[in-house]
Amino acid sequence: MRHSLRLGLAAAAVATATLVATACTSSGGGTGSPGSSATGKAVSGGTATYAEPPGTTPNYIFPMLTAAYYSVANIEQFQRLSFRSLYWIGNAQGQPVVDPSMSLAALPVYSKNDSVVTITLGNYKWSDGEPVTTRDVAFWINLLKANKTSFAAYIPGEFPDNLKSYKIVNAKTIVLTLNGSYNPTWFTYDQLSQITPLPTQAWDKTSASGKAGNYDETTSGAKAVFNFLTAQSKDIATYGTNPLWKTVDGPWTLASYQSGGYAKFEANPAYAGPTRPKLKYFVEQPFTSDTAELNVLRSGNSIDYGYLPTQESSQSGVLSSQGYTTSPWLGWGTTYFLMNFNNPQTGPLIGQAYLRQAMQSLIDQNSFLAGPLKGYGSTNYGPVPVKPSNPYSDSYEAKGPWPYSPSTAVKLLKSNGWTVNPNGASTCTSPGTGAGQCGKGIAAGTKLSFTLAYASGTEFVSQEMQALKSDFSQAGIQVNLSSEPFDSIISLLTPCTSSQSSCSWQMLNYGGGWTYGVDPYPTGDQLFETGSGSNSSNYSSPQANALIQATVHGTVGLTNYENYLAQQAPVLWMPQPDYQISEISNKLQGTSPQSPIESLTPENWYFTQ
Amino acid sequence: MIRFLRQRCSQAVVVLLLVSVIVFGLLHLLPGGPARAILGTHATPTNIAAFNQQNGLNSPVPVQYWHWLTGVLSGNLGFSYVQNESVSSLLAQRLPKTALLAGVSVLLAVLIAVPVGFFQAVRRHRAGDYVVTTVALVLYSTPAFWVGILLIDVLAVRLRVFPAEAPQGSFSALISDPQALVLPVLTITLVTVAGFSRYIRSSVLDELAQDYVRMARSKGASRRVILFGHVLRNAAGPVVTLLGLSLPFIVSGTLITEYVFNYPGIGLLAFDAATSQDYPVILGVVIVVGAATVVGSLLADITHAILDPRVRASAGIG
Amino acid sequence: MSPENVASVLGPEQSTAEAEAEATAGGVWLRAFVRNRLAVTGLVVIVALLLLSFVGPLFYHTDQVHTRLGMETLAPGAGRPLGTDDVGYDELGRLMVGGQTMLEVAFGAAAVAVVLGVLWGATAGYFGGLLDALMMRIVDALLAIPAILLLLFLATVFRPSVLMLIIVVGVTAWLVPARLIRAEALSLRSREYVLAAKTMGVRSPTIIFRHIITNSLGTILVNATLQVADAILLVAALSFLGLGVAPPATNWGAMLSDGLNYTYSGFWWLTYPPGIAIVLTVLAFNVVGDGLRDAFGLDTRRG
């Protein structure tokens, strides 16, 4: 009772402090983008309150977690504030590239034909005074090897399966020997960035009262340590008090936490990174719905970093007069919807590139952006996003080889043996596998008619699909829409073969695509390679496979791969919505740029008077 | 009385078992399964297999039910798929908050409904009755979420008298901020007071028509004595019944209000669990609410039996 | 399911079946009903809303299938008496389409609930004994499960369509009529004409239909009208929580909750028309139900 009373008082104190801090404000008048030259003097201290995106809350603190807890809310916006990853993605320009100054190690050095990696750590320290050493890196690797099926990001064949051995040279240098040659960028971004060094001196134990040792060096010991740490992590009532979680190398320590997702961090004075926190406290506040959050935004100034629901985007003017600046937050991901290559009836149709290209040419991305997305998004014609700005996007893919052009769609169909019946169903009148004919497995008289199941519950998705149905009919492609619950749609995402009943879907839109969180270097080996675990459309193309392999093992960049996929449209590319429309209080500065992988870096934030 | 109690208690156990079988069956026999829903769009077949393995979802359904049941009987209600907390811990935190919200609202509703219903019955078919009845009927017919949102819009956002959402912290944080309770309580009260007062009105009208009232009047007892002495006491029984049976509706009623006000009670927990296919939590909530309903109706019956001798006479049927 | 609806099944097991049987015979109840002005007004409102929803579109043509992005959320004006909604549909036309869905689901669910409940309750009450005990324990169990929780879960798995809503709402609502009719059956089965029929060898189903159910008609009718009212509120709540029929279909509850998303933008024509429609309909069915109850002379705490 006393414990919760203390929490209650602490919460009340935070609320009061926030109120006081925000009470003495100069009214509104948003001056351009936040983070630009401050309109007032910077003050140190204070508590910044961040509104968590609706329905997602942090609830897991131990960085080696299962898929059920693998989320931005837990990793990028909770764990990483205290436990830094080996390599940090997101630089000062907001690009999804490694930032060496924020990383625990210098950029890795590849040798022996890119099969050996040498990692040299920087000078970070744990909050108990111990330095972050290669022993801590090895600790993570040992735990992972013994418990890999329990780690969300583990993919059979990839890290640590592709690690032949490792050797600790000294406290700062570790050498990894891989089982083959790998593209350094891919390996650094998609494999090494998963590593979070853990404090061996505090966590390498098998019981709370036991002493720390080297248990992780045996498989059974590593399992015991993992089980112990997992059990501790399942006791969320103690997140704010358990000494385990107080040993951090990041700028923030969790000071108090409440079930439901309320988290309060305090600045870690021992943080050895480039920017020390100026704020005293950083608070994350949970909300069940975005309307609830908007109500709180509109009724007072208790939120410093909030967001605007897209459908209420017209409110940005009102919020601006309340002292907030609207700042769209772009995430690093691609949006598309799926066509099933293994469907027994429509599979042969989808297998024809010209048909997919015709359909891509009937998607009016600009009108979707202007209407349903209300301007908060970017065009997206391939697997590599154009925004936020990044060094991988090629102009061919960025412009899109198949922009909205109904005449192109009609031409593609006509020149491949189809009779186009606008507002009806186009039919195949020239079957066969020769030039100008429909293609393999398509009988004469086949109609172009598909069922498209899309997830209900998101306004812009249903608006886009209604418009799309009407656009497709211009080339006689019939789309029978069916709105289904989100859960029932995503239950079909597991790859299937034509004989399975789970393969009877023809087109599927769950309202998203893929967020490049685990794999910030977007090589597509998980999405588009034959037989890969997230290849939900069952796409199989030897040419695509070769291009993807070249990006994972070779030294080429992404250009050939991304341009091929943009051109082939194995999925139908859709505009990428912004991650959120942030509303940031004008008194809070230092919040720009917003991280491309949705991390939070409140150590850069400060209040102004 | 003892026989009555024993019979009802054994019935209650049967009912609870049936509840658990029905809901467990429903959850597990529907197509799909929770894995993909819990793990999301980025889950690989490896992740899904690990999840099913870890949560015993590969065993036959009756076996899973047995495991769950034996767990419950030994106090272990399971572990949430999504929230990284045990079901009992979640319930222990959320239940008091809903109890507070529902308790205060229902108490307020009863306190208002009894005199109002009385007034309606006594002034039957006169102007006063019509006005009050109409207002009550309109309130009764308005969706609760609309009432809540209107209250937020006017009192929280425009006039800034009350906060727009409930405090998120522990129970003590909740009671230390009574201002934040006003709007949610008001929402539930407004919507339920109408139903309650209609019921009281009917109940009082029935009592007034009873033989004993006419007898008392013919004996010369004053109107006041009749009303407050006899009628009120006999009309009180159904109120208790009403309260007892309102328990499951308290969950449904508070669910909407908790959703609108972001109130961290059991209704919101149930909503999150139901929409995210968090089976252990759904089952936990159903059992708790089911038990509360059964106990509530039992208590209501007992109190009613105590208050009204006519009920005691015909009690025990069914 | 309203608390008083359920509470009405408790209380003394005295039956007013005799009064009810009297009122049913000879249409006495109809005359009593017509004299109740409030109830008649309610009936008129219901008919008006039915006409608006089903006959209205024949006179007032709008396109309710194709969205018109670019014409969204326009205020009421020339050619659009109630403005447009957030994808450009005409709001008045939407109100009619929404009304069709709403009333179809409400009537359908009430019908399912009443048919299922009456059959179940009559059978249980007539036969009594172990069968009765088992059947009513099942009813108790289902009553103890919060309907909205089950509905929420089902809606995340199954596509919400009008048929599915009817089934799902009806299946959660049949419990109250089951209890009510069971109580009626319990008292009616010891009446002389029932006992006489049994001795004459009349089969049970015939007895149940001819005597039990026909003599409970009043209770059934009253409950049916109240079921419709409850179904409307339940569908509105479900739509608010995000589960309802898919566009371009809609119902008043979905229209209201969609409109509430724009609370701060001041688009009043998106919330008040469907909201008032809901209130009016529920109100109307409630006063009609009350009127029927008075007309049949039923115990006002039951039926």
Quick one: tokens of A118? 């040498």
- For residue C251, what pLDDT is reported? 87
Is residue A305 in some structural domain?
A: yes
- For residue A39, what pLDDT is reported? 58
Alpha-helix runs per DSSP H in A93-248: 134-147, 184-186, 200-203, 219-233
In terms of phi and psi (left: phi > 0; alpha: psi -120 to 50; beta: otherwise), the region of C58 is alpha
What confidence category does residue A354 fall into, taking pLDDT thresholds of 50, 70 and 90?
Answer: very high
Largest CA distance in chain A: 81
- For residue C299, what pLDDT is reported? 61
Distance from CA of A303 to the nearest CA of C (A): 18
**Average pLDDT score over chain A:** 90
Query: A483–C248: do the CB atoms touch at under 8 Å?
Result: no
Out of A113-122, B9-18, B43-52, B107-116, give the one with best mean pLDDT.
Answer: A113-122
* pLDDT above 90 (res A82): yes
- For residue B250, what pLDDT is reported? 63
Asked if A500 has any chain B CB less than 8 Å from its own CB, the reply is no
pLDDT in tens, C253-266: 888 888 887 777 77
SS3 B167: coil
Do A528 and A506 share a structural domain?
Answer: yes
Nearest to A4 among B82, B172, B261 (CB): B172
pLDDT in tens, B45-101: 889 999 999 899 999 999 999 999 999 999 899 999 988 999 999 999 888 888 888
Is residue A246 in some structural domain?
A: no
Asked if A237 has any chain B CB less than 8 Å from its own CB, the reply is yes
Cα Rg, chain A, nearest whole Å: 26
Q: Which phi and psi (to 5°) does residue C23 adopt?
A: -65, -35
Question: Average pLDDT in the A331-350 region?
Answer: 96
What confidence category does residue A17 fall into, taking pLDDT thresholds of 50, 70 and 90?
Answer: very low
Do A418 and A567 share a structural domain?
Answer: yes
Query: B238–C146: do the CB atoms touch at under 8 Å?
Result: no
Do A91 and A77 share a structural domain?
Answer: no
Q: Which domains does chain B have, with CATH numbers?
A: 90-315 (1.10.3720.10)
* pLDDT above 90 (res C213): no
What confidence category does residue B26 fall into, taking pLDDT thresholds of 50, 70 and 90?
Answer: confident
Query: B205–C141: do the CB atoms touch at under 8 Å?
Result: no
User: Cis omega (within 30 of 0) on the bond before A495?
Assistant: no
Instruction: Name the helix (H) or strand (E) containing A173.
Output: strand A173-178
The CATH number of residue A68's host domain is 3.40.190.10
Do A420 and A396 share a structural domain?
Answer: yes
Among A248-262, B18-32, C233-247, the least confident range: C233-247
Better-predicted residue by pLDDT, A72 or C144: A72
Question: Average pLDDT in the A520-545 region?
Answer: 94
Instruction: State which residues form the domain around A352.
Output: 333-577
- Cα B90 from chain centroid? 18
Quick one: tokens of C147? 């309907």
What confidence category does residue A14 fall into, taking pLDDT thresholds of 50, 70 and 90?
Answer: very low
DSSP readout, C44-85? HHHHHHHIIIIIHHHHS----SS--TTSTTPPSBTTBTT-B-
Is residue A134 in some structural domain?
A: yes
Do A404 and A256 share a structural domain?
Answer: no
pLDDT in tens, B121-139: 777 777 777 788 888 889 8
Side-chain-facing half-sphere of C196: CA atoms under 13 Å: 4
Query: B40–A490: do the CB atoms touch at under 8 Å?
Result: yes
Alpha-helix runs per DSSP H in B33-153: 34-39, 45-54, 61-73, 87-122, 127-141, 144-151
Closest chain C CA to residue A292: C261
What confidence category does residue A603 fall into, taking pLDDT thresholds of 50, 70 and 90?
Answer: very high
Q: Are B142 and B150 in contact (CB under 8 A)?
A: no
Instruction: Name the helix (H) or strand (E) containing A112.
Output: none
- Dihedral, B38, B40, B43, B45 alpha carbons, nearest 10: 60
CA angle (B73 as vertex; B67, B77 as ends), nearest 5: 70
What confidence category does residue A304 fall into, taking pLDDT thresholds of 50, 70 and 90?
Answer: very high
- For residue C88, what pLDDT is reported? 76
Better-predicted residue by pLDDT, A50 or C153: A50
Nearest to B36 among A262, A298, A491 (CB): A491
- For residue C10, what pLDDT is reported? 42
What confidence category does residue B313 fall into, taking pLDDT thresholds of 50, 70 and 90?
Answer: low
Q: Which residues in chain C touch residue A485, judged by CB atoms under 8 angstroms apart?
A: 155-160, 243
Do A36 and A184 share a structural domain?
Answer: no
Query: B286–C136: do the CB atoms touch at under 8 Å?
Result: no
Among A356-360, B266-270, C30-34, the least confident range: C30-34
Strands A305-308 and A580-585: antiparallel
Amino acid at B208: L
Q: Which residues in chain A touch residue C70, judged by CB atoms under 8 angstroms apart?
A: 371
* pLDDT above 80 (res A268): yes
Nearest to B199 among C4, C146, C253 (CB): C4
Summary count for chain A: helices (H), strands (E): 17, 24
Better-predicted residue by pLDDT, A55 or A493: A493
Amino acid at A427: T
The CATH number of residue A460's host domain is 3.10.105.10
* pLDDT above 90 (res A76): yes
Query: C300–B202: do the CB atoms touch at under 8 Å?
Result: yes
Asked if B251 has any chain C CB less than 8 Å from its own CB, the reply is yes
Is residue A49 in some structural domain?
A: yes
Better-predicted residue by pLDDT, B19 or A282: A282
- Cα A313 from chain centroid? 23
Is residue A229 in some structural domain?
A: no
* Residue with token string 């983070």: A35
Distance from CA of B177 to the nearest CA of C (A): 26
pLDDT in tens, C90-113: 888 889 988 999 999 999 999 999
Query: B164–A299: do the CB atoms touch at under 8 Å?
Result: yes
SS3 A606: strand
What confidence category does residue B248 fall into, taking pLDDT thresholds of 50, 70 and 90?
Answer: low
The 3-state secondary structure of A272-318 reads CCCCCCCCCEEEEECCCCHHHHHHHHHHCCCCCEEEECHHHHHHHHH
- For residue C300, what pLDDT is reported? 53
Q: Which residues in chain C touch residue A456, judged by CB atoms under 8 angstroms apart?
A: 160, 242, 246
Do A344 and A471 share a structural domain?
Answer: yes
Neighbouring CB atoms inside 10 A of A544's CB total: 19
- For residue B318, what pLDDT is reported? 36
Distance from CA of A517 to the nearest CA of B (A): 10
Question: What's the pTM?
Answer: 0.84
Distance, in Å, from the CA atom of B264 to the CA atom of A287, rounded to the nearest integer, reads: 10
**Average pLDDT score over chain B:** 82
Strands A507-509 and A449-455: parallel
The separation between the first and the last C-alpha atoms of chain C, rounded to the nearest angstrom, is: 13
Counting other chains too, the contacts that B45-53 makes at CB distance below 8 Å and 24 or more residues apart are B45/A494, B45/A495, B45/A533, B46/A149, B46/A154, B46/A155, B46/A156, B46/A533, B47/A66, B47/A67, B47/A152, B48/A494, B50/A66, B50/A67, B50/A149, B50/A150, B51/A66, B51/A67, B51/A68
Out of A203-212, A288-297, B145-154, B226-235, give the one with best mean pLDDT.
Answer: A203-212
Distance, in Å, from the CA atom of C223 to the CA atom of C6, rounded to the nearest integer, reads: 11
Distance from CA of B249 to the nearest CA of A (A): 22
Is residue A245 in some structural domain?
A: no
Asked if A230 has any chain C CB less than 8 Å from its own CB, the reply is no
- For residue C22, what pLDDT is reported? 58
Asked if C88 has any chain A CB less than 8 Å from its own CB, the reply is no
* pLDDT above 70 (res B237): no
- Cα A403 from chain centroid? 26
What confidence category does residue B277 fall into, taking pLDDT thresholds of 50, 70 and 90?
Answer: confident
CA angle (A313 as vertex; A312, A318 as ends), nearest 5: 90
* pLDDT above 60 (res C301): no
Q: Which residues in chain C touch residue B190, judged by CB atoms under 8 angstroms apart?
A: none
Question: Average pLDDT in the A535-562 region?
Answer: 94
Asked if C131 has any chain B CB less than 8 Å from its own CB, the reply is no
Q: pLDDT over 70 for what percent of chain A? A: 94
- For residue B185, what pLDDT is reported? 92
Strands A572-574 and A262-267: unpaired
Amino acid at A524: G
Distance from CA of C142 to the nearest CA of A (A): 25
Query: C87–A367: do the CB atoms touch at under 8 Å?
Result: no
Quick one: tokens of A253? 């320590």
The interface residues of chain B toward chain C in range 151-170, judged by CB-CB distance below 8 A, are 153, 157
Domain count, chain A: 3
- For residue A110, what pLDDT is reported? 96
Nearest to B44 among A155, A487, A517 (CB): A155
Distance, in Å, from the CA atom of B139 to the CA atom of B174, rounded to the nearest integer, reads: 27
Q: Are A89 and A322 in contact (CB under 8 A)?
A: no
Neighbouring CB atoms inside 10 A of C270's CB total: 26
- Cα A395 from chain centroid? 23
Do A338 and A475 share a structural domain?
Answer: yes
- Dihedral, A53, A55, A58, A64 alpha carbons, nearest 10: -110
Chains touching chain C through at least 3 C-beta pairs below 8 angstroms are A, B
Q: Are A596 and A317 in contact (CB under 8 A)?
A: no
Asked if A456 has any chain B CB less than 8 Å from its own CB, the reply is no
Closest chain B CA to residue C14: B314
What confidence category does residue A409 fall into, taking pLDDT thresholds of 50, 70 and 90?
Answer: very high
* pLDDT above 60 (res A15): no
Among A188-192, B313-317, C64-68, the least confident range: B313-317
Among A194-198, A414-418, B106-110, the least confident range: B106-110
What confidence category does residue A25 fall into, taking pLDDT thresholds of 50, 70 and 90?
Answer: very low
Distance from CA of B249 to the nearest CA of C (A): 7
Task: Specify the DSSP class assigned to residue A190.
Answer: I
Query: A494–B36: do the CB atoms touch at under 8 Å?
Result: yes
What confidence category does residue A292 fall into, taking pLDDT thresholds of 50, 70 and 90?
Answer: confident
Query: C146–B32: do the CB atoms touch at under 8 Å?
Result: no
Better-predicted residue by pLDDT, C221 or A143: A143
- For residue C129, what pLDDT is reported? 85
Distance, in Å, from the CA atom of A505 to the CA atom of A310, rounded to the nearest integer, reads: 30
* pLDDT above 70 (res A19): no
* pLDDT above 50 (res C226): yes
Do A590 and A507 share a structural domain?
Answer: no
Asked if A537 has any chain B CB less than 8 Å from its own CB, the reply is no
Residue C173, Cβ density class (10 Å: 0-12 exposed, 13-18 middle, ≥19 buried)? buried
- For residue A16, what pLDDT is reported? 42
Angle between the N-to-C axes of helices C272-296 and C17-24, in degrees from 0 to 180, rounded to the nearest 10: 100
* pLDDT above 90 (res C154): no
Better-predicted residue by pLDDT, A31 or C190: C190
pLDDT in tens, C122-147: 888 888 888 988 898 888 888 888 77
* pLDDT above 60 (res A11): no
Better-predicted residue by pLDDT, B225 or A553: A553
Neighbouring CB atoms inside 10 A of A514's CB total: 20
Is residue A232 in some structural domain?
A: no
Asked if A332 has any chain B CB less than 8 Å from its own CB, the reply is no
Which among A204, A222, A240 is the end of a domain? A222
Which among A222, A238, A265 is the end of a domain? A222
Question: Average pLDDT in the C59-88 region?
Answer: 76
Quick one: tokens of B289? 């609410």
- What distances in angstroms separate CA A502 from CA A348, A437, B131, B209, C277, one per listed residue? 17, 31, 59, 65, 42
Side-chain-facing half-sphere of A283: CA atoms under 13 Å: 23
Q: Are A332 and A383 in contact (CB under 8 A)?
A: no
Query: C3–B249: do the CB atoms touch at under 8 Å?
Result: yes
Closest chain B CA to residue C257: B146
Q: Which residues in chain C touch residue B19, judged by CB atoms under 8 angstroms apart?
A: 141, 144-145
The CATH number of residue A186's host domain is 3.90.76.10
Do A175 and A119 share a structural domain?
Answer: yes
Better-predicted residue by pLDDT, A267 or A1: A267
* pLDDT above 60 (res A6): no
Do A190 and A270 share a structural domain?
Answer: no
Which among A207, A222, A237 is the end of a domain? A222
- For residue A448, what pLDDT is reported? 95
In terms of phi and psi (left: phi > 0; alpha: psi -120 to 50; beta: otherwise), the region of B33 is left
Query: C300–B304: do the CB atoms touch at under 8 Å?
Result: no
Question: Average pLDDT in the C213-220 region?
Answer: 81
pLDDT in tens, A223-235: 999 999 999 999 9
What confidence category does residue A421 fall into, taking pLDDT thresholds of 50, 70 and 90?
Answer: very high
Q: Which residues in chain B touch residue C287, judged by CB atoms under 8 angstroms apart?
A: 137
Distance from CA of A8 to the nearest CA of B (A): 4
Is residue A238 in some structural domain?
A: no
- For residue A499, what pLDDT is reported? 92
- What distances in angstroms separate CA A188 from CA A115, A557, A579, one per listed residue? 12, 14, 25
SS3 A584: strand
User: Cis omega (within 30 of 0) on the bond before B248?
Assistant: no
In terms of phi and psi (left: phi > 0; alpha: psi -120 to 50; beta: otherwise), the region of B316 is left
Task: Report which of B232, B259, B277 is spatially closest to residue B98, judged by C-alpha positions.
Answer: B259
ipTM: 0.82
Q: Which residues in chain C touch residue A314, judged by CB atoms under 8 angstroms apart?
A: 265
Residue A573, Cβ density class (10 Å: 0-12 exposed, 13-18 middle, ≥19 buried)? buried
Do A500 and A376 share a structural domain?
Answer: yes
